Every structure is written in structure tokens, then in C-alpha cells.
Amino acid sequence: MTTYLVQNASILGGDPTDLLIADGVVKEIGGDLSADGAETVDATGLVALPGLVDLHTHLREPGREDAETVESGTRAAALGGFTAVHAMANTEPVADTAGVVEQVWRLGREAGHCDVYPVGAVTVGLAGERLAELGAMADSAARVRVFSDDGRCVSDAVLMRRALEYVKAFDGVVAQHAQEPRLTEGAQMNEGELSGRLGLAGWPAVAEEAIIARDCLLAAHVGSRLHVCHVSTAGSVEIVRWAKAKGWDVTAEACPHHLLLTDELAATYDPIYKVNPPLRTAADAEALRAGLADGTIDIVATDHAPHPHEDKDCEWAAAAFGMLGLETALSIVQETMVDPGLLDWAGVADRMSYTPARIGRVADHGRPIDVGEPANVVLYDPSARRTVEASESASLSRNTPYAGMELPGRVVATFLRGRATVLDGKLA
């Protein structure tokens, strides 16, 4: 295994220092390190962060290999600085059995670009009718701890209660896609002044907030832990803040696109901006950023959702929901959080590595960059600028809403247990 001598890296934005990476771990940290036969990586001006952990990724395999595969999706993840991703369950077939989650887990190991932790479906076929065999998935080789019907809401209150209770047996967590289905029938975009003007059916904030409030109360009632996926409204941030103040075990994520983009983009009728939950108002985005800064929102998760070209190259109502996110997440967090002074690099490490790993109960990720720790490290150049080109994405899909946009930062290198998955900004 190659030994890497990383020189002059700024760990979490601190003073430059050298890092010796060997045998899968961080061997030494200090000034002027040397090692015979080591490959030198000049990290002058680069920030070293713990390998990023995504709690919300759609890898589409099995079933929609035309949109993404585990191989292509984890390539994109490595290029984005991720060393672990949680693969959502809404595949075809649905990841609702030990067999499917083990398949996804095995495909991840074979690809080798980053660790893949499958998310198990809460209900059979995501149908919201009866619990899937959560215990079997937890006990499988994939060791599933995060369960979600993402894409659909576990809207039945009794079923949600049972799921929250049941996962306590193996320290699992239910990650809820909070969307009251009756309030969002046919919904196309954020419900507000603009949806009325554009004649697109509205997705009201209350449909998210009502479910989050209910689920917080349920989690408290049964003493379980709840994770809220892709929080998108100012009201949701308030509810999560309230639940945390009560001392309840509730965590929440925000997506990069909800931090940066707003519903005004729907006026183009270009469904590249169609996503679920929808892009909200500027005030919502501001509340999310504030919530992420003060810790109300625990983590950033990408909701990376690849779709083939034809599912976006059409009229808005016919288009699929979702956008790519893995390769741009860190840049958008820099743009919306770091550059404005809302979060420092230690904060980024917390929101994008430590805490998502803790919520997902992933032992070897989200560890500090210290001697003896697994060498999951990303080197990031915050002074770089780049214009996003959809065609350059490692994903099989091209549905990035940031195409043509200039964003700060560039992932220079990613190390997974001491092995470089990305070097010089390219797959190693």
C-alpha cells in the first residue's frame, strides 16, 4: 500500500502541518515529516477535512442503471470528497430485504471508491402498509442502521410509531421524508405567490411541518430517535429547534440546493430545478443556513438524485423530481456557510462528517484527523474557482442545477482508509 506524505495541510483550517498516511491510518502529524518511499502530496493552501459522509444518496442500482450505478455514483462521491455514502432504498426492487441491501453493500465494496451503507426501507415496497424486515437488514452483512421510505412519507401515524419503536432493538433510526401526501397531491413546486402565478400545483410548507411536528411527538412518546430528511422550510427549522429544546433525540438534515437555490428558478419552467421537497423562498433558505450554523440542523446531506436526460428534457409536470449533488456539495457549503462566516472548517467537519457518521452509526468514518485514526481524509482547495460543467460529472446523469454557475473550491484529494481515491482532482 502506498504511503502518502501530505505536506503543509491545514487541518480544519488550522496552521499548516504534515500528515503521514500509511497502513490505512494517520501515522504521524507534525512539521517537516519525512518518510522513505512515500509519495509526496503538496497540500499548501489546502484544508484537510475528515472524509465526508453523506446520509442521503440515491445510487439507483439495482433497477435504474441508466441513471446511476453504485460504481458511477461512488465515483462522483469520491470526487466530491466523500468516503462514505448511505444509499437510499427506493431502488427497483426496493431495498426492503436483507438480500437487496447486501447486494448494494457488496457492489459498493467491489467499486471501492467509497464505503456504501445501504438504507433499508421502512415498509415493504415503500408502500406504507406494513413494516419491512428491519431486523433482518440490521443483522445482514450490510449492518443497516438507517431506515427510510425516502421518496415517500411514512404517513400512517401508527406505522410510524411502530417503526420508531421497533428500531430501538438494534439502535436504528427512522429517516423520515416529511410530506403529508393529501396536502401534496400533484404538487409541483413550493406553494406561494409564484406557484399561483405559474399555474403549478403548490407543495405547501405545512405539508412538511405537520409531519415533522407529529414525528417529533411520536419519537418523544416512544423514546426513540428520529432523523428528518431534507428540511426545507423556516417553519420546519423552528419545529426541530423546539423538539431539541425539549431534549428529544431528533436530528435533521439540509440539502445544499435548499441552502443556495430558491423557488424563483421555477419561473423558467426548466425542470432541472424540480426537486422534492421543492426549492423554497429566500427566507426559507436563510433560516436553513441559520439553523445549520447554530446546530438546529445537524448535518448537510446531498439527496443526490440522478435522472436520465429524457426525464428532465420535457415539460415541468412530466419531469422527475431530483438533482445531482455529490460533486458540488462541499463547494455550496463553502459558498453559503463558510464564506459568509456562518461556519468554520471545524463546523463543516462536524456537519458533513462527524455528525452524519454518528447518526448513521458508522464506526470508521467521521473520526477526527488524529494519529492512529483511520485515514479518511479529504484535501480541499477553498481558493479555487470553477464553472460547473454538467458534461464533466462522474455521475451517469447530467441533471445538475448548477451548470454554468461559478462555485468556490475544489476537492484535490480523497483518501479512503489510507488509499487515494482521488488525486489532483481526478480519480486515482
Partner 1 sequence: MKRHLLSAADLSRDDAELVLTTAEELRSLADRPIKKLPALRGRTVVNLFFEDSTRTRISFEAAAKRLSADVINFAAKGSSLSKGESLKDTALTLEAMGADAVVVRHSASGAPHRLAHSGWVRSSVVNAGDGTHEHPTQALLDAFTMWRHLGPKSGGSLDGRRVAIVGDVLHSRVARSNALLLRTLGAEVTLVSPPTLLPVGIESWPVETSYDLDAVLPKADAVMMLRVQRERMHGGFFPTAREYSRRYGLDGRRMALLQDHTIVMHPGPMVRGMEITADVADSDRSVIVEQVTNGVAVRMAVLYLLLGGSQPAVSTEGLPE
**Residue positions annotated with a catalytic role:** 303
Residues touching partner 1: how many (CB under 8 A)? Answer: 24
Residue 383 found at the interface with partner 1 (CB under 8 A)? no
- Report the C-alpha gap between 322 and 301 in whole angstroms: 13
Residue 403 found at the interface with partner 1 (CB under 8 A)? no
Residue 25 found at the interface with partner 1 (CB under 8 A)? no
- The one segment of 35-43, 65-73, 306-314, 407-415 that binds partner 1 by CB under 8 A: 306-314
Residue 364 found at the interface with partner 1 (CB under 8 A)? no
Shortest distance, position 188 Cβ to partner 1, whole Å: 8
The answer to whether residues 63 and 54 touch, using CB atoms and an 8 Å cutoff, is: no
* Separation in Å, CA 265 to CA 75, 113, 162, 260, 287: 29, 34, 39, 11, 19
The residue ranges of DSSP E strands in 306-423, in sequence order, are: 377-387, 406-416, 419-423
Cell of 412: 484535490
Shortest distance, position 81 Cβ to partner 1, whole Å: 33
> Which 8-state DSSP code applies to residue 119?
P
- The sign one gets for the Cα dihedral 392, 393, 397, 398 is negative
Residues between 321 and 340 that touch partner 1 (CB under 8 A): none
Residue 316 found at the interface with partner 1 (CB under 8 A)? yes
Residue 192 found at the interface with partner 1 (CB under 8 A)? yes
Shortest distance, position 201 Cβ to partner 1, whole Å: 8
- The one segment of 74-82, 89-97, 118-126, 262-270 that binds partner 1 by CB under 8 A: 262-270
- The one segment of 151-159, 189-197, 212-220, 361-369 that binds partner 1 by CB under 8 A: 189-197
- Report the C-alpha gap between 7 and 336 in whole angstroms: 29
Residue 183 found at the interface with partner 1 (CB under 8 A)? no
Residue 313 found at the interface with partner 1 (CB under 8 A)? yes
Shortest distance, position 199 Cβ to partner 1, whole Å: 3
Residue 283 found at the interface with partner 1 (CB under 8 A)? no
Residue 266: strand, helix, or coil: helix
Cell of 221: 412518546
Q: Which of 201, 222, 342, 427 binds partner 1 (CB under 8 A)?
A: 201
Q: Which of 198, 293, 390, 428 binds partner 1 (CB under 8 A)?
A: 198
Q: Which of 43, 160, 175, 200 binds partner 1 (CB under 8 A)?
A: 200
Burial-class residue 165 by CB neighbours within 10 Å (0-12, 13-18, 19+).
middle
Residue 305 found at the interface with partner 1 (CB under 8 A)? no
Furthest C-alpha separation in the chain: 67
Q: Which residues bind partner 1 (CB under 8 A)?
A: 188, 191-202, 204, 268-270, 310, 313-318
